Amino acid sequence: MALPDFSRRAETLEWMDDDSVDLETFRDCLKDLAKVNAATLAHRPTLAFLDDLHGAGLWPSGRALTVLDVGSGYGDGLRLIDRWAERRGLAVSLTGLDRNPWAAHAARAATPAGRPIVWATCDLFDYEGSPDVILSSLFTHHLDDDQLVRFLAFMDRKAKAGWLANDLLRHPFAWGGFALLSTVMQWHRFVRHDGPISIRRSFAPADWRAYLARAGVEGASIRRRFPFRLCVSKTMAP
Ligand SMILES: C[S@@+](CC[C@H](N)C(=O)[O-])C[C@H]1O[C@@H](n2cnc3c(N)ncnc32)[C@H](O)[C@@H]1O
Distance (Å) from CA 49 to ligand 1 centroid: 20
**pLDDT band per the 50, 70, 90 thresholds, residue 193:** very high
For ligand 1, the distance from its centroid to the CA atom of residue 1, given in whole angstroms, is 31
If you take atom 14 of ligand 1, which residue's CA is the nearest one?
71
Q: Is 98 in the pocket of ligand 1 (CB under 6 A)?
A: yes
* Structure confidence by residue, pLDDT tens digits, 202-222: 999 999 999 999 999 999 999
| CA 71 to ligand 1 centroid distance, Å | 3
DSSP annotation string for 47-105: HHHHHHHHHTT-SPSSSPEEEEEET-TT-HHHHHHHHHHHHHT--EEEEEEESSHHHHH
77 CA → ligand 1 middle, Å: 12
- What is the chain's mean pLDDT, rounded? 96
Tell me the per-residue pLDDT of 74-128, one tens digit each, with 9 for 90 and over: 999 999 999 999 999 999 999 999 999 999 999 999 999 999 999 999 999 999 9
- Take atom 13 of ligand 1 and give the residue whose Cα is closest: 71
Question: Which one-letter amino acid corresponds to residue 169?
Answer: L
pTM, 2 dp: 0.97
- Ordered by where they begin, the domains of the chain are 20-169+205-235 (3.40.50.150)
Confidence of residue 2 (pLDDT cuts 50, 70, 90): confident
- Which residue owns the Cα nearest ligand 1 atom 12? 71
